[in-house]
């Protein structure tokens, strides 16, 4: 029997009971089709493109929001910047309009669990990052693992993590998410490249799938699988927002970025 490695598609409020299969990698991705309407995504894009506090980070030229990997050795700065940016974003997105909060609510429904933002010493972790990929940009092969990378942060004690990304504006051409059927292992560190990601050698001859996201889709993966974004072509940015989450007890999904 051929073992097809294909994503599972759900409607926005459908329940998903196979989180273990997603964790183990027997399902490469869970896609919540049209979780956000085109109209809502357009409104979010208009607001976020008007936001002044744009930064860059490992592997990305333009983003809004704070991510752990930019502050691996600067925990104080990470929480300070998170407080600053989240306060600014609150002005743009009142509580029930922040797409990251709305995503959390959707995850609560899909997984039948409560969601909460991770906290450390009374400081909230970042709620998520908006990413902008311009034409000719791609995103190198990488894997995400706070457990390995972010030692010193409380979230590194969580052994498993998922990634949830809402696609607000897909690339005109390209910009597909490529997921490889290979889980990172410690000895792969020899394939690391300076600044960000891994050499393509790490996924040589490995099966992969491509996901072409559509506006409003939420794509959930176990990001310990190597993944990349193919080259973006066309006039406009590929815009997405997302965060990591993990079950921290039977009832709770903890989120961070």
Partner 1 sequence: MTDIIWGTVTNVIANNKFEINVTHRKDENTNRYDDNETVIFTEIDIMSLPADPSLRTIQQIEDAIKGKFIKCEVVTRCDDKTLNCKVFHSGAGGY
* CB 126 within 8 Å of CB 66: yes
29: which 2 tokens? 């991705």
* CB 252 within 8 Å of CB 204: no
Residue 71 sits at φ, ψ, to 5 deg, of -135, 40
The interface region with partner 1, picked from 9-17, 91-99, 105-113, 191-199 by CB under 8 A, is 191-199
Interface residue with partner 1 among 27, 28, 48, 67 (CB under 8 A) is 67
- Residues sharing a CB contact under 8 Å with residue 40, sequence separation 6 or more, in sequence order: 99, 216
Interface residue with partner 1 among 16, 93, 130, 244 (CB under 8 A) is 244
Distance in angstroms (rounded) separating the CA atoms of residues 10 and 33: 6
Burial class (CB in 10 A: 0-12, 13-18, 19+), 152: exposed
Interface residue with partner 1 among 151, 159, 173, 200 (CB under 8 A) is 151
Report, in Å, the least distance between residue 185 CB and partner 1.
11
The interface region with partner 1, picked from 14-22, 28-36, 89-97, 139-147 by CB under 8 A, is 139-147
* Chain centre distance of CA 80: 22
Interface residue with partner 1 among 192, 206, 210, 214 (CB under 8 A) is 192
Report, in Å, the least distance between residue 246 CB and partner 1.
14
Cβ proximity to partner 1, 109 vs 138, nearer residue: 138
Concatenated DSSP letters of 133-144: E-TT--EEEE--
Give the per-residue contact string, 44-63, with partner 1 (x = CB under 8 A; - = no). --------------xx----
* CB 124 within 8 Å of CB 118: yes
Between residue 73 and residue 102, which ones bind partner 1 under the rule CB under 8 A? 73-75
Interface residue with partner 1 among 35, 64, 69, 85 (CB under 8 A) is 69
The interface region with partner 1, picked from 25-33, 48-56, 102-110, 192-200 by CB under 8 A, is 192-200
* CB 20 within 8 Å of CB 42: no
Q: Bridge-partner residues for 116, per DSSP? A: 254
Report, in Å, the least distance between residue 142 CB and partner 1.
4
Interface residue with partner 1 among 24, 26, 37, 193 (CB under 8 A) is 193
* Chain centre distance of CA 154: 19
| Binding site residues, partner 1, CB under 8 A | 58-59, 67-69, 72-75, 129, 142-145, 148-149, 151-152, 163, 184, 186-187, 189-190, 192-198, 223, 244, 257
């Amino acid at each position: 029997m051929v073992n097809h490695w294909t994503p599972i598609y759900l409607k926005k409020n459908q329940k998903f009971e196979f989180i273990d299969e997603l964790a183990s990698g027997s399902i490469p991705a869970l896609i919540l089709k049209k979780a956000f309407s085109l109209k809502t995504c357009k409104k979010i894009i208009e607001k976020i493109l008007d936001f002044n506090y744009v930064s860059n980070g490992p592997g990305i030229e333009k983003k809004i929001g704070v991510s752990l990997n930019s502050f691996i050795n600067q925990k104080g700065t990470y929480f300070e910047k998170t407080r600053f940016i989240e306060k600014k974003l609150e002005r743009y997105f009142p509580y029930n309009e922040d797409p990251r909060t709305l995503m959390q609510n959707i995850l609560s429904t899909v997984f039948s669990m409560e969601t909460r933002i991770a906290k450390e010493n009374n400081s909230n972790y970042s709620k998520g990052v908006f990413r902008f990929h311009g034409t000719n940009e791609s995103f190198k092969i990488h894997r995400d693992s706070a457990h390995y990378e972010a030692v010193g942060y409380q979230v590194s004690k969580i052994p498993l993590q998922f990634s949830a990304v809402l696609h607000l504006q897909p690339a005109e051409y390209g910009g597909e998410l490529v997921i490889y059927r290979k889980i990172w292992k410690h000895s792969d560190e020899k394939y690391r490249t300076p600044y960000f990601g891994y050499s393509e050698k790490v996924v040589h001859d490995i099966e992969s799938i491509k996901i072409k996201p559509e506006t409003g889709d939420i794509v959930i993966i176990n990001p310990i699988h190597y993944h990349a974004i193919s080259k973006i072509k066309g006039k406009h940015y590929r815009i997405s927002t997302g965060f990591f989450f993990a079950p921290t007890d039977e009832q709770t999904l903890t989120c961070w970025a």
